[in-house]
């Protein structure tokens, strides 16, 4: 039965060899679980057996360590597929695994770093002498000041930043996922850094190209071409090293976006406003940041309220 199902996945569904191998291991463990429970055939399996297998995956036993929610979910998907295959093949009259849902993986909280570390990072980015230091400071200031994705920032044209009437009125036009554009405010620090870069650094970078300026990209590399995402990563890593933050786990350009959202919510911003600024299609995506701020609220409460802790 299991062999027929795996052949079906390989030949008719075209699943990758690694996926089929994982399903084979999961189903071998499932068959062993059923044998130990005295179940001798697919027709004897009850929904409680499938649910019991899921519990065994998560708790582990003498021969197997507990599985993560992701690994257990994969095993349950394999088992559900096996029972569905048996039903369609006429081997059973009921799909007893249909109502057993795979466990939801733990929600991974976004990484954010404190404002003090953000400031150290930005100062370090601008510490390099010459046009590159001005460019690097402007890039990181813009990432943190607007919550832009790295692809949105390096994709900016000069004309996409509108200084308006100065601080408090400047905006940037960001091209988000699916080509969806949004207009976001640019704070005074980011605006000043971008203006310094445009006046004192970008012309020199543009002139460094053998053919002169190429296109209207806001951020240029040393050859006068558009700055790449890989170069932006390198800029962040170099700044982190100079700021003494190289040891931070998972530090990336996206960290600045996460910090932007978290710091806004910590400061009292409405989650729907943050949703618009980040360009999320659904507020549900943005609400993961509220989990971070709840932790912050607990911390403040525990250290501030006279009867919070014994």
127 & 57 share domain = no
Answer whether residue 86 shows pLDDT above 70: yes
Q: When comparing pLDDT for 66 and 179, which is higher? A: 66
Helix ranges (H only) for the chain are 2-11, 17-36, 47-59, 69-88, 115-125, 131-146, 150-154, 188-200, 202-208, 229-242, 253-266, 271-278, 283-286, 288-304
Query: φ, ψ for residue 64 (rounded to 5)?
Result: -140, 135
| Domain co-membership, 196 together with 296 | yes
Q: From CA 50, how far away is CA 258, in angstroms rounded? A: 39
Above 50 in pLDDT, residue 212? no
Instruction: Establish whether 289 is a catalytic residue.
Output: yes
Residue 99 falls inside a structural domain: no
Catalytic residue among 29, 80, 149, 202: 149
Query: Of 69, 88, 107, which residue is a domain's last?
Result: 88
Q: Residues 14, 16, 22, 25: is their CA dihedral positive or negative?
A: positive
Residue 110 lies in a domain: no
* β-sheet bridge partners, residue 157: 217
Average pLDDT over residues 89-103: 91
Percent residues over pLDDT 90 in the chain: 62
134: how many CB neighbours lie within 10 A of its CB?
24
73 and 218 part of one domain: no
Higher confidence at residue 16 or residue 143? 143
Instruction: Tell me which of 45, 71, 88 is where a domain ends.
Output: 88
One domain, residues 8 and 129: no
Task: Determine the pLDDT at residue 301.
Answer: 73
List, in order, residues 6 or more apart from 3 with CB less than 8 Å away.
Answer: none
Phi/psi zone of residue 116: left (φ > 0), alpha (ψ -120 to 50 degrees), beta?
alpha
Confidence check: pLDDT of 132 > 60? yes
Domain boundary among 53, 71, 88: 88
197 and 277 housed in the same domain: yes
180 catalytically annotated:
no
Q: Are residues 16 and 141 in the same domain?
A: no
Q: Are residues 64 and 209 in the same domain?
A: no
Instruction: Note whether residue 124 is domain-resident.
Output: yes
Q: How far is CA 3 from CA 7, 31, 78, in A?
A: 6, 12, 13
For residue 47, pLDDT over 90 is answered with yes
What value does the mean pLDDT take over residues 211-218?
66
pLDDT number for residue 210: 55
94 occurs within a structural domain: no
Count of CB atoms situated within 10 Å of the CB of 148: 30
pLDDT, tens digit, 9 for 90 and up, residues 228-266: 999 999 999 999 999 999 888 778 899 999 999 999 998
Q: Which of 132, 137, 257, 263 is catalytic?
A: 257
- Indicate whether 16 belongs to any domain: yes
Write down the catalytic residue from 58, 173, 229, 254: 254
> Does the active-site annotation cover 177?
yes
Q: Are residues 30 and 136 in the same domain?
A: no
Q: Are residues 29 and 159 in the same domain?
A: no
Q: Is residue 147 part of a domain?
A: yes
Annotated catalytic residue, options 289, 296, 298, 301: 289
Range(s) of the domain holding residue 250: 115-303
In a domain, 102, yes or no: no
**Rounded CA gap, 228 and 27, in Å?**
45
- The answer on 125 and 83 residing in a single domain is no
Least confident of 24-38, 118-132, 217-231, 242-256: 242-256
Q: What is the DSSP letter of 111?
A: P
Higher pLDDT, 303 or 68: 68
CB atoms within 10 A of CB 192: 17
How would residue 285 be classed by pLDDT, with cut points 50, 70 and 90? Answer: confident
> What does the pLDDT look like over 30-46, one tens digit per residue?
999 999 999 988 999 99
Banded pLDDT at 310 (limits 50, 70, 90) = low
152 CB-contact burial (10 Å; exposed 0-12 / middle 13-18 / buried 19+): buried
Q: CATH number of the domain at 29, please.
A: 1.10.150
242 is catalytic: no
The answer to whether residue 95 sits within a structural domain is no
Which residues, in sequence order, are bridge partners of residue 185? 171
Contact predicate 284/172, CB 8 Å: no
Tell me: the pLDDT tens digits for 147-186? 999 999 999 999 999 988 777 889 999 998 878 899 999 9
Q: Please tell me which residue in 29, 83, 263, 280 is annotated as part of the active site.
A: 280
42 and 161 co-located in one domain: no
Active-site option among 25, 28, 101, 177: 177
Identify the CA nearest to 171 among candidates 93, 43, 277.
Answer: 277
Quote the CA–CA distance of 294 and 30 in Å, as a whole number.
40
Q: What is the pTM of this model?
A: 0.64
Helical residues (DSSP H) of 64-130, grouped into ranges: 69-88, 115-125
Clarify whether residues 122 and 215 are in a common domain: yes
- Reported confidence tier of residue 110, pLDDT bands at 50, 70, 90: low
DSSP alpha helix (H) spans, 147-228: 150-154, 188-200, 202-208
Query: Going by DSSP bridges, is the β-strand pair 161-162/181-185 parallel, antiparallel, or unpaired?
Result: unpaired
How many domains does one find in the chain? 2
User: How high is the mean pLDDT of the chain?
Assistant: 89
Structure confidence at residue 108 (pLDDT): 66
Say what the pLDDT of residue 230 is. 94
Segment 69-78 shows an average pLDDT of 91
């Amino acid at each position: 039965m299991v062999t027929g199902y795996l052949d079906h996945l390989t030949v008719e569904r075209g699943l990758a060899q690694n996926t089929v191998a994982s399903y084979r291991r999961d189903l071998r463990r499932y068959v062993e679980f059923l044998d130990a429970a005295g179940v001798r055939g697919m027709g004897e399996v009850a929904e409680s057996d499938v649910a019991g297998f899921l519990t065994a995956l998560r708790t582990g036993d003498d021969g197997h360590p507990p599985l993560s929610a992701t690994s257990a979910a994969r095993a349950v998907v394999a088992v559900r597929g096996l029972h569905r295959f048996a039903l369609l093949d006429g081997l059973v009259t009921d799909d007893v695994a249909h109502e057993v849902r795979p466990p939801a993986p733990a929600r991974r909280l976004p990484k954010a770093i404190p404002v003090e570390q953000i400031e150290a990072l930005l100062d370090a980015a601008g510490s390099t002498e010459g046009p590159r230091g001005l460019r690097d400071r402007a890039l990181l200031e813009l990432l943190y000041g607007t919550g832009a994705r790295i692809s949105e920032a390096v994709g900016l044209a000069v004309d996409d930043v509108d200084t308006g009437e100065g601080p408090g009125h400047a905006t940037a036009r960001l091209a988000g996922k699916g080509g969806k554009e949004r207009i976001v405010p640019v704070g005074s620090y980011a605006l000043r850094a971008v203006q310094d870069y445009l006046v004192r650094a970008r012309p020199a970078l543009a002139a460094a190209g053998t053919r002169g300026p190429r296109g209207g990209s806001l951020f240029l590399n040393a050859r006068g071409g558009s700055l790449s995402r890989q170069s932006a990563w390198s800029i962040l890593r170099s700044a982190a090293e100079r700021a003494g933050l190289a040891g931070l786990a998972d530090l990336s350009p996206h960290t600045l976006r996460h910090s932007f959202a978290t710091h806004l919510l910590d400061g009292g911003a409405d989650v729907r406003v943050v949703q618009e600024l980040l360009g999320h299609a659904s507020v549900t995506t943005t609400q993961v940041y509220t989990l971070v701020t709840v932790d912050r609220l607990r911390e403040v409460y525990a250290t501030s309220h006279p009867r919070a802790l014994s």
